[in-house]
Structure 1
Amino acid sequence: MNAEIICVGTELLLGDVVNTNASDIAQGLAHMGINVYHHEVVGDNPRRLRECLRDSLSRCDLVLLTGGLGPTYDDLTKETVAAHFGRGLAMDEESLHTIERYFARTGRKMTENNRKQAMMPEGCIILQNPNGTAPGCIIEGENGKTAVMMPGPPREMRPMFEGPVTDYLMRRAHDGMLVSRTINFFGVGESELEARLREMMVSSTNPTIAPYAKTSEVQLRVTARAATEEEGLRLIEPVVRKIVEIYPDQIYGFDFHTINEAVVKRYTDAGKTLAAAESCTGGLIASRLVDLPGASAMFGCGVVAYSNETKQKLLGVSAETLGRYGAVSRECALEMARGVRAASGADVAVSTTGLAGPDGGTDEKPVGLVYVAVVSDRFEEVRELHLARGRADDRENIRFRSSSHAFDLALRALRQL
């Protein structure tokens, strides 16, 4: 089965809303073994949506649409798709009662235009929406073509897709499923990985191996097509094991989205705590940790010590160190990490100090020079980094990469505890 994804909404075209729906749906379809070859975004315009839908269904068996199911005049996805399949719209009483109960439960007044959302294409499969007012639906055409319509807000779309839509599609998928494992790397570039593993990537067809570069890290996704998840994992396991043997020191984990997610999970599972003292990263380490649920179990202290005075007063960095080596130094980074660990009682502490730019660098200490330290009872290390790339976003890039290096050191320290 081949599928295409159409996300409807002028706000997506304007960039006012990030289109996460396409990513979520594509990943789910891949797991079911359904191929996706095109994504489309179209505004709230019936003519352009008709053209987009016609082109998609000329290429594939299944189209999944999000958005345009609301109560306003420009929400016309149902009307447009129903017309393509030669269907009219009729009031569905169960959907109307569900919408009425939703308004009663939330204490809001239901306006007349909300009734429009209960008008459903004739003969469709209705997908109730307990998380909002817009039910979804599935239209099956006589020629084997199918359209699935879901609401646009992710908090409404995801439960509908992961529940009734996935159940429906799994009954129709006949080619097995795609099973993947992600190998997470830090400290090795995509080009180096590709060069070293090229022969394996080219020769391996099931599973396949594909690299994905992210800021400051790389992922290898190993994907197998199989009848069951267990069979897919059996196909994947020897390939993963061989890659681990090639890169024993650069792999920080498996199936993580980001290195900060790995830190939160690993420290929480181990029952250990982490603290951070930040200068050039300005709180980015703390922010990337607390962005993730559950961070409170492992992260209790973050200090942004931008000035030398704060480094001395809060972190115990000595005046002698600052006078002799400066704030941007290996010695200062180490004292910052020791200081925040002593103050917080954390098992491990990391620190950053450096020059994020764009101004302030010298020949001896240029913009992009950063020192990242980690301290525990059993492990101390300081990294000297040179992160300037001469790009317009260098400051942001330097800060982000510095925080990622701090996370990598935190994981290495945890393994020593």
Structure 2
Amino acid sequence: MKDMNAEILSVGSELLLGQIVNSNAQWLSKRLADLGINVFYHHTIGDNFNRLEQAMRLAKERSDLVIVTGGLGPTDDDLTREVASQVINQPIEVDAQVLAKVESYFQKRNQTMTENNRKQAHVFQGSTVFPNDEGMSPGIFTEHENTGWVFLPGVPREMKSIFNQSIDPFLKQKYSLNQKIYSRVLKFIGIGESLLEDRIADIMKKQTNPTIAPLAGDGEVTLRLTAKTKTEESANAMIAKVEKEVLQRVGDYYYGADHETVENRVFQILKDNSLTLSSAESITGGRFIDRMISLPGASTIILGSIVCYQREIKENILKVSKDVLDQHGTVSAPCASELANNIQTMMNSDIGISFTGNAGPNPIEGKEVGLVYIGLKIGSQEPLVESIQVNGTRENIRNRAVKKGFELLYHYLKQYHSIE
């Protein structure tokens, strides 16, 4: 069959107010991809009749399958059924089995069932009803003018239960779904999104299946390669062909795929080459070494670290010369160089790395907020120092400094230790 395009409507003012995270849409997108169904739109609507009606009418015109979550409860602001009834021109009726379940729930607890709880048994005339083993309101499927409509409770536990037990097999059978969507995420560091995209522009222009989608992250860039096919084996072959072509252009910046992190990659290279590491951290306050120590087996690689936030610690413990500090300041390339050199010597490690800079909120020693120096001392070589200028909050500046440190270390190790 032709490609099936879906849309997810998430109903609830609490989503728009930021009171809860819309995890349902993310989860459903992943499950629909597993079924080979494209998700082209996410639409979040508050508990408002007119706006929900507009969203549903728009979805009806542009999507083959619309999945609506939320608004199926018993209260006045649960409007999904009433709005949908008008949009798809299907009257509402009471499902006897669902009503019996609701009534039984209250009877077993010796509670009086209020009239509005009957609303949870409302379904569309002629629709397919799916039981809710985790709650009251059932799942519902109906069709109108070649568009399929799935209605699910907004409570994630209930929504997932109905989808896994009923909707998944129902959609497979009804639409003869025999394809899946497979993705592989390539990760790059040390290159910006615009430059990476420029290097592979011609590859992206001719994309059909697999597709290529770039995404800028925190100090790195990813490319998602997505193939739609019947088997994982054929998808892997299709993706591998495009991946090879991409890496021929920008492979120098590639460090891993999918769930791999840059710190994990650096850790593995150090381990494979029996190299040890130490750090002197001012602006990062130990964040760099913490990321490394969080990995199992860190004791074979990490010898130690010193957080040298104050000038006195830099001068008296890490022995940065007074002349350097007086002449250049603590936020300077010479300071970063001596920190890297001296921590390597103190810890007797193969590599020493240092971080110093200004995270704000005010200039320090005439240095602007966001200026960071990173020093790297490898073996007997002269220390290397790089600087970056980062915008944003203190948190962002410090995190970007850590990521830049991993970037420098990774590219050095890749260059000098024949890492593929």
TM-score bin (small chain):
0.7 to 0.9
Instruction: State the identity %.
Output: 34
SS in 1 for 2:330: coil
Q: CA RMSD in A?
A: 4.6
Q: Which residue of 1 aligns with 2:355?
A: 352
Aligned positions of 1:147-296 closer than 5 A: 147-154=149-156, 157=159, 161=163, 164-171=166-173, 172=175, 174=177, 176-256=179-259, 261-264=261-264, 267=267, 278-282=281-285, 285=288, 289=291, 295=294
SS in 1 for 2:251: coil
- Consecutive unaligned residues in structure 2, runs of 5 or more: none
Residues 1:326 and 1:140: Cα distance change in structure 2 (over 3 Å):
same
SS in 2 for 1:263: helix
Q: 2:98 aligns with which of 73, 92, 101?
A: 92
Q: Measure, in 2, the Cα distance between the counterparts of 1:154 and 1:374.
A: 48
CA contact (8 A) 1:66 1:149 kept: yes
Q: Which residue of 2 aligns with 1:121?
A: 123
User: How big is each residue's C-alpha offset from its partner over 1:219-250, in whole Å with a ceiling of 9 and x where there is no partner?
Assistant: 11222222222211111112111222222321
Cα offset, 1:7, TM superposition: 0.9
User: How big is each residue's C-alpha offset from its partner over 1:189-230, in whole Å with a ceiling of 9 and x where there is no partner?
Assistant: 122122221112112322222322223221112222222222
Q: Measure, in 1, the Cα distance between the counterparts of 2:365 and 2:34.
A: 52
SS in 1 for 2:59: helix
SS in 1 for 2:325: helix
Q: Measure, in 1, the Cα distance between the counterparts of 2:231 and 2:176.
A: 12
- Asked if residue 59 in structure 1 is aligned to residue 58 in structure 2, the reply is no
Cα offset, 1:175, TM superposition: 6.8
Residues 1:117 and 1:233: Cα distance change in structure 2 (over 3 Å):
farther
Q: Which residue of 2 aligns with 1:297?
A: 296
SS in 1 for 2:200: helix
Q: Measure, in 2, the Cα distance between the counterparts of 1:269 and 1:141.
A: 55
Q: 2:148 aligns with which of 135, 146, 149?
A: 146
Q: Measure, in 1, the Cα distance between the counterparts of 2:158 and 2:347.
A: 41
Q: Please say which of residues 402-411 and 180-189 is displaced more in the overlay.
A: 402-411
Q: Measure, in 2, the Cα distance between the counterparts of 1:4 and 1:230.
A: 28
User: How big is each residue's C-alpha offset from its partner over 1:356-406, in whole Å with a ceiling of 9 and x where there is no partner?
Assistant: 33522556x4443312346788999754123146xxx36554333212213
Q: Which residue of 1 aligns with 2:406?
A: 407
Residues 1:69 and 1:376: Cα distance change in structure 2 (over 3 Å):
farther
SS in 2 for 1:249: helix
Cα offset, 1:277, TM superposition: 5.3
| Counterpart code for 1:86 | P
Q: Please say which of residues 223-232 and 73-82 is displaced more in the overlay.
A: 73-82
Q: Please say which of residues 57-66 and 85-94 is displaced more in the overlay.
A: 85-94
Q: Measure, in 1, the Cα distance between the counterparts of 2:136 and 2:101.
A: 9
Q: Please say which of residues 336-345 and 324-333 is displaced more in the overlay.
A: 336-345
Aligned positions of 1:68-87 closer than 5 A: 68-70=71-73, 72-81=75-84, 84=88, 85-87=90-92
User: How big is each residue's C-alpha offset from its partner over 1:307-345, in whole Å with a ceiling of 9 and x where there is no partner?
Assistant: 2345568xx422526636543244644666688899999
- Consecutive unaligned residues in structure 1, runs of 5 or more: none
CA contact (8 A) 2:72 2:79 kept: yes
Cα offset, 1:134, TM superposition: 5.6
Q: Measure, in 2, the Cα distance between the counterparts of 1:407 and 1:359.
A: 27
Q: 2:372 aligns with which of 348, 370, 373?
A: 370
CA contact (8 A) 1:3 1:36 kept: yes
Residues 1:59 and 1:202: Cα distance change in structure 2 (over 3 Å):
closer
Q: Measure, in 1, the Cα distance between the counterparts of 2:181 and 2:282.
A: 44
| Counterpart code for 2:319 | S
Q: Which residue of 2 aligns with 1:9?
A: 12
CA contact (8 A) 1:349 1:410 kept: no
CA contact (8 A) 1:252 1:408 kept: no
Number of matched pairs: 396
SS in 1 for 2:252: coil
| Counterpart code for 1:359 | N
- Asked if residue 308 in structure 1 is aligned to residue 300 in structure 2, the reply is no
CA contact (8 A) 2:64 2:147 kept: yes
Cα offset, 1:111, TM superposition: 8.8
User: How big is each residue's C-alpha offset from its partner over 1:138-197, in whole Å with a ceiling of 9 and x where there is no partner?
Assistant: 312264432223343556655655664444334425472332221111111122122221
